[in-house]
Amino acid sequence: MKSYQKLTQPSACRLEEEGAAAAPTGHGKLAPCWVGSGLLVAAVLLSAITVWVLQQVSVGWPRPTLPPKCLLVPESHRFDCYPERHVVVTQQLCESRGCCFIESPPPAAGKRGVPWCFYPPDFPSYTLESLNETALGMVGLLVRREKAYYPRDIEMLRLDVEFETDTRLHIKITDAANPRYEVPLEVPQATKKAENPIYSLDFSWDRFGVVLRRRATGMVLLNTTVAPLIFADQFLQISTSLPSKFLYGLGEHRGPLLHSVDWSTLTLWARDVSPTESFNLYGAHPFYLLMEEGGDAHGVFLLNSNAMEVALQPAPGLTWRTIGGVLDFYIFLGPDPNTVIQQYQQVIGFPAMPPFWALGFHLCRWGYGSSNETWQTVRAMRNYQIPQDAQWNDIDYMDGYRDFTFDSQKFASLPSLVEDLRKHGQHYVMILDPGISSTNPNGSYWPFDEGLRRGLFLNTTQGQTLIGQVWPGFTAFADFSNSDTHQWWLENLQRFHAHVPFDGLWIDMNEPSNFMDGSEEGCPPGELDSPPYTPAVLGDSLSAKTVCASATQKASVHYNLHNLYGLMEAKATARALIQIRGKRPFVISRSTFPSQGRYSGHWLGDNRSQWKDMYYSIPGLLSFSLFGIPLVGADICGFSGSTSEELCTRWMQLGAFYPFARNHNTQNEKAQDPTVFSPAARTAMKNVLLTRYSLLPFLYTLFHRAHLQGDTVARPLFFEFPQDVTTLGLDRQFLWGRSLLVTPVLDPGVDSVTGYVPRGTWYDFYTGSSMNSSGEMVKMSAPLDHLNLHIREGAILPTQKPGTTSEATRRNPLCLIVALSSSDTAWGDLFWDDGESLDTFEQGSYSYVVFNVTQNIFTSTILHASTEATEVTIGTLSIFGVREPPSKVLLNGQEKPFSYLDNQVLTVSGLGLSLNQGFSLQWL
């Protein structure tokens, strides 16, 4: 609403980034370009008062008189002045904060609804007292002259604005006088000011705020004048209008990909709980992507690790509330969604390149009961020739659920199992928890004894080891903010690896999870465990099912570091694996934070064997693509509960296209690995895994692009079709890269699926038959043994004859699939290395090949070559969309036999070309 957009800088609304600001003179005058807004405000005010008077007359006088300024604010623009939960907000409570009170109809169950207590337009805020130019932007001083209502208001704030790049703006607000906790995350440091930014920035001086615009369209992307800035020691709040309702990100939560702005609140505080709508889940990602009208996109990242909540409202508007740290914002201007995510990862870091085998199929369950039973499952998979790259074990392999041990009775053959896996080109992954058993006789359990001796566990405020309870019973929690803990973690892993030479690690329970609230002694009184304001966390307490917020760590108090716990453990684990194996690490973590992709992948937690859980996995994996963690997937067929054959078949089809594909099951439920089902279901599962394995070269290349420049692997449709508004809410389909459309069945008892096919020509992956779409919903046949896959016109996909392991697949010939565009062109690429060595791209130990089609000529161009690629051959070329039957085909000028089908598919087989050998193929 315009009344919120008053800018009180005299003589001009705009302070551009080109020059320094003069100190303000005459605070309080309305800038000339906002006079029109004032006239509009007056008109709205008159009409609002008229409506209000009529309402009073209709219900009878008298009633408490409401200030006209309160009536001015439409419901959708009411920013909550009393966000505390479990409080009946009365007029007296509200007005004690200086806010407006208007009762509204009660909201639907589970909704917050219109706030009854909201800020008036003139609520006191900070004043921008000065603003001066710096080498990178500006520095300003903010002063609050009237106290707000949370304790320890910070009266003077420092504002730093850095125009870091033409598409990235950095705005930081912190205490001007005293240092505060800041997230220990490595971020790039700008060295010069952006020369041609695609954004402009305005300031409101008296009642401070910023207004950020996109230059090309004039679109207002941020306007923080809509509500007051509050910056107290343990309550920081800033609000903004949004240019549209199409907002994504802000994890980790379970729900649709597109967030509702209908009075919803998203809480960020890592918590161990089965994924449930509206709950704060395992990770914290204070980043959102917003689609603007016309297809532009921008992103906002708040670099803050404290407990926080983000409130959305239908204005549309957004409020950040956090209870510590500083307000450290990065804004990414895109202008398209793919570029926004790349720019975000330029700040938090690009994801690590996974080993090739990590992209194969993984199998696990809690409750195998023994290494022999685990081994039997592996043998059954081999017997049916079902692809599998990795076998996992859950906590039942351990002795008494203690880390770095294995049950010498039930898992006596575990070392032999691991050796057998290696002989068959397979890999072993095991689980680890950060809770270290503390109840063993002194001297009998080295991990605890040594950790205690070195002082490597979380402590209470009294300096004693904090004791909680997890699977082994009473436990201490490793302090991964301490670099000495990383060394201790490495030594523990080295000792265990000498007995069980694992290949990857699964780090669970690292929110950290605690079966107690706080500790065995509870938590002490004080404002860390009982802060003045507690965000809407599950359990209504920061210590609910985790450790005390007051617990002390090397880097800071747990109050500040809680959301970083999983990230810090992943960093220690990845580094340890590199030192132990000398190869790329494979780590899957439950708790995550921005930059996690540099060290681990993620699985979506303890889901259920239900159809809706299968659906929710798609927005889950797409959200983590936005967060820079491309190696992500859900437990295929569901973790808890028992699956059905139909559900598991459909889920295996979907899960075969998770970037990280693992079937995982809990104890005391029937088995759900592919071998236990009927021949028909088993065959359907095997075939879709073979399809995945055939696409591994394409998938691996996508991960290379993610590692190199921050491309997404699994991708929402709107990333490729941002101007198609139909795609903005789609989360039952997704793309691999820009060109492979996956349309799974997500409902029981059906033999067809309706999916959206964006405008253009799309080809059936299996047959090459084409479909021309104007951008429409299409009903597709989907019997139980079929997953719909379509290739976008203009793409070239490198595929490979599949084997039952990624290692076997890598030795097979390549088949290049060309999907011609309407102009008979196509493009694709392939990245190839040894699949496991560290930093192959950085060291030049790789091959990179570009494929291109124009004017009926296919060319393969080697841009970089290595010895690994000499062992790979290109066997077949399949070209979809060849409209006329060729009379002949020439390979490097020599005629070659070919086949041509009525559905316009040209196939040339038996090429036998080395991948390192450039070539051309022409059809006439």
What are the C-alpha distances in Å from 15 to residues 8, 48, 137? 12, 34, 11
User: Which of 446, 440, 512 is closest to 473 using CA atoms?
Assistant: 440
Residue partners of 655: CB distance under 8 A and separation at least 6: 633, 634, 636, 637, 661, 662, 663
Residue 828 in tokens? 């694709």
Strands in 504-607 per DSSP E: 504-507, 587-589, 601-603
Q: Is the dihedral of CA 146, 150, 153, 157 positive or negative?
A: negative
Catalytic residues: 508, 511
DSSP 8-state assignment for residue 21: P
Rounded CA-CA distance 248/241 in Å is 15
Rounded CA-CA distance 116/113 in Å is 9
Rounded CA-CA distance 204/33 in Å is 13
Residue partners of 481: CB distance under 8 A and separation at least 6: 184, 553, 554, 555, 556, 561, 564, 568
Q: Is the peptide bond before 83 cis (omega within 30 degrees of 0)?
A: no
Q: Spell out the alpha helix ranges (H) of 79-172.
A: 91-96
Rounded CA-CA distance 341/490 in Å is 33
Q: Is the dihedral of CA 878, 879, 880, 885 positive or negative?
A: negative
**Cβ atoms of residues 833 and 701 within 8 Å:** no
Q: Give me the residue label for tokens 């040339």.
A: 908
User: Which of 701, 617, 695, 688 is closest to 354 using CA atoms?
Assistant: 701
Burial of residue 384 (CB within 10 Å: 0-12, 13-18, 19+) is middle
User: Which of 549, 568, 559 is closest to 482 using CA atoms?
Assistant: 568
Please spell the DSSP secondary structure of 458-501, one letter per residue.
Answer: -B-TTSSBP-EEETTEEEEEB-TTSHHHHHHHHHHHHHHHTTS-
Q: Give me the residue label for tokens 């104890």.
A: 667
Burial pattern 622-651, b for ≥16 Cβ within 10 A else e, equals bbbbbbbbbbbbbbbbbbbebbbbbbbbbb
Residue 693 in tokens? 């394995």
Rounded CA-CA distance 264/248 in Å is 13
**Cβ atoms of residues 213 and 219 within 8 Å:** yes
Number of residues assigned to the chain: 924
Q: Is the peptide bond before 316 cis (omega within 30 degrees of 0)?
A: yes
User: Which of 269, 325, 334 is closest to 296 using CA atoms?
Assistant: 334
Separation of first and last alpha carbons in the chain = 63
Burial of residue 55 (CB within 10 Å: 0-12, 13-18, 19+) is exposed
Q: What angle do CA 403, 436, 280 make, to 5 degrees?
A: 100
CB atoms within 10 A of CB 771: 13
Burial pattern 706-717, b for ≥16 Cβ within 10 A else e, equals bbeebbbbbbbb
**Cβ atoms of residues 774 and 759 within 8 Å:** yes
CB atoms within 10 A of CB 726: 15
